[in-house]
Structure 1
Amino acid sequence: MSVIPELTSEADVLICGASRGIGLALCAALLTRGDVARVWAVARKASTSPELAALAGQYGERLKRVDCDARDEQSLEALVSKAREECDHLHLVISTLGILHQDGAKAEKGLAHLTLASMQASFTTNTFAPILLLKHLLPLLRKQPSTFVALSARVGSIGDNRLGGWYSYRSSKAALNQLLHTASIELKRLNPAATVLAIHPGTTDTDLSQPFQANVPEGQLFEPAFSADRIIELVGAHGPADSGTFWAWDDKPIVW
């Protein structure tokens, strides 16, 4: 199965949030594939990441490390300029950007814990950064088969919200889902071979989930490599006919 549906050539892939967790695992997994020409590893400190440096030592020029803060549009413009020096089309872009309790964001248990600063931090990284990434990369997604994926979260589902809490995180992911669905409609007009997906990777052993892992049922806390493999399988299984949809790691749709 090709890395994205209907692709008959080697793929250029860009991973944003590539220096740790699921993003790093995606880079490692994709570089082992013979149908992936290059992986653009994008992160705020990609050039100084020891883990990405190790991958670069193993895979050489197939890994392109680019420093970029997706929350800053000038930084995104520089990313696009850098990518266009070596390719005119990206076949797959995956945003793994997301925070729950970092950079000023909080996992609020109730309304009394809400602050404007926490909500702004959550939305800036979880909502605004992925859609701005898509905005700036759009010229590289407008021809041939292409897939844009952003990691969302089941707790961003309004229909599946039974426990409450986590106001900022839930709402920022719900807003991301709406933006992705809206973008899928526009991309379908610009490039009928384009696909936009929201994917819930499951609870993965990363910095984001670390404070809450004690509450995860046995067998439901995944290693980053497992989550990366499941995401890659989902991307390969869902093409333009599924654009604008929301999927869980186990290939089951999630209600909006």
Structure 2
Amino acid sequence: MAAVALVQGASRGLGLQFCQHLLSHRAPVAVIATCRDPDGAPALSALAAGNPSRVTVLQLDVTREEQIQRAAERVRSAFSGVDLLINCSAVLHPSGKGETSLRDVSAEGVTSTLATNTVGPLLMAKYFAPLLQKGTGQFGRQPAEKTKQHNGILVNMTARVGSIGDNALGGWYSYRMSKAALNMATRNLSIELGRSRPKIVCVSLHPGTVDTDLSRPYHKNVPQHKLFSTQYSVQRLMEIIDSLSMDKSGKAYAWDGSEIPW
């Protein structure tokens, strides 16, 4: 039975690259790609057109719960389960720039960032966890004994700046808070879904500083050797996903496999 991977936020950047990587390196995996506006995602549309039997594109605005629920119902009717769910959608701030000081903070900016970066992935887990429990466990590492430890894997894309213990610079209130809260959601999910039958591995992954629209305003401050292509970042992240098992659930990992403190 072919594995099923769902990438939430697949129109560009890391999400689109995850889809491309899965298609190229994980035949015959079926890819479900979601984004807010499929008609306005030409690269994703071209990818789907070139792989009509393996790619399903669904409209899903992660800030709208009814769309998440509707997408889950469509996936349930078309597939027996989901093996891997990757939540990729993220915003730095509605303005496109992180707050440099307290005077830049607004209620609208904080709540909007939290809605996309934190609440959305949590609601994805709410509606797609039953499908992950029906997965076949084809991603990650299973124990040597015959009984599977997990059926599905849930990945939340985090950022090192969301680590409270690692924060020495301050700033970026909305983005830091949203990723710190996402990490707490990941931890909570790992406990609840780790008790379920079947079990689900839940982790937060940090892709490094990647050449995407989100980080582009800050590229001039990043050393060239620390600015990653989407291809390199996704390759390293998939290596981590391939190594996951229940004992690694509930943690945050950087692109190089190192654990990030909460």
Do they superpose with TM above 0.5? yes
1:211 paired with 2:217, answer: yes
Alpha-carbon distance between aligned partners in 2 of 1:86 and 1:188, rounded to the nearest angstrom: 26
Counterpart in the other structure of 1:40 = 32
Q: CA deviation at 1:233?
A: 0.9
Q: CA deviation at 1:230?
A: 1.3
- Partner of residue 160 from structure 1, selected from 159, 166, 169: 166
- Which shifted more, 16-25 or 79-88? 79-88
* 1:34–1:41 Cα change, 3 Å: same
TM-score when scaled to structure 1? 0.92
The number of aligned residues is 247
The residue identity in structure 1 corresponding to 2:182 is L
Contact 2:22 2:29 in 1 (8 A): no
Residue pairs, 1:8-87, within 5 angstroms: 9-87=1-79
Alpha-carbon distance between aligned partners in 2 of 1:200 and 1:92, rounded to the nearest angstrom: 17
- Partner of residue 239 from structure 1, selected from 223, 232, 245: 245
1:253 paired with 2:251, answer: no
Alpha-carbon distance between aligned partners in 2 of 1:50 and 1:69, rounded to the nearest angstrom: 17
Contact 1:127 1:173 in 2 (8 A): yes
Contact 1:151 1:199 in 2 (8 A): yes
Contact 2:96 2:214 in 1 (8 A): no
Q: Which has the higher contact order (CA 8 A, sep 6+)?
A: 1
Q: CA deviation at 1:33?
A: 2.7
Alpha-carbon distance between aligned partners in 2 of 1:61 and 1:79, rounded to the nearest angstrom: 19
Alpha-carbon distance between aligned partners in 2 of 1:119 and 1:79, rounded to the nearest angstrom: 26
Instruction: Please give the per-residue CA displacement for 1:118-146, whole angstroms capped at 9, x wherever unaligned.
Output: 11111111111111111111110123420
* 1:218–1:33 Cα change, 3 Å: closer
- Which shifted more, 53-62 or 198-207? 53-62
- Partner of residue 227 from structure 1, selected from 229, 233, 244: 233
Q: CA deviation at 1:35?
A: 4.4
Contact 1:231 1:249 in 2 (8 A): yes
- The RMSD of aligned alpha carbons is 1.4
* 1:105–1:206 Cα change, 3 Å: closer
Gaps of 5+ in 2: 137-150
Residue pairs, 1:69-218, within 5 angstroms: 69-101=61-93, 103-104=94-95, 106-143=97-134, 144=136, 145-218=151-224
The residue identity in structure 1 corresponding to 2:177 is S
Q: Secondary structure at the match of 2:190?
A: helix
Q: CA deviation at 1:239?
A: 1.4
Counterpart in the other structure of 2:148 = none
The residue identity in structure 1 corresponding to 2:100 is K
Alpha-carbon distance between aligned partners in 2 of 1:106 and 1:48, rounded to the nearest angstrom: 23
Instruction: Please give the per-residue CA displacement for 1:28-54, whole angstroms capped at 9, x wherever unaligned.
Output: 000113444210000011254211121
- The percentage of aligned residue pairs carrying the same residue is 39
Contact 1:39 1:62 in 2 (8 A): yes
Counterpart in the other structure of 2:143 = none
TM-score when scaled to structure 2? 0.90
The residue identity in structure 1 corresponding to 2:234 is A
Contact 1:104 1:121 in 2 (8 A): no
Alpha-carbon distance between aligned partners in 2 of 1:98 and 1:191, rounded to the nearest angstrom: 30
Contact 1:90 1:146 in 2 (8 A): yes
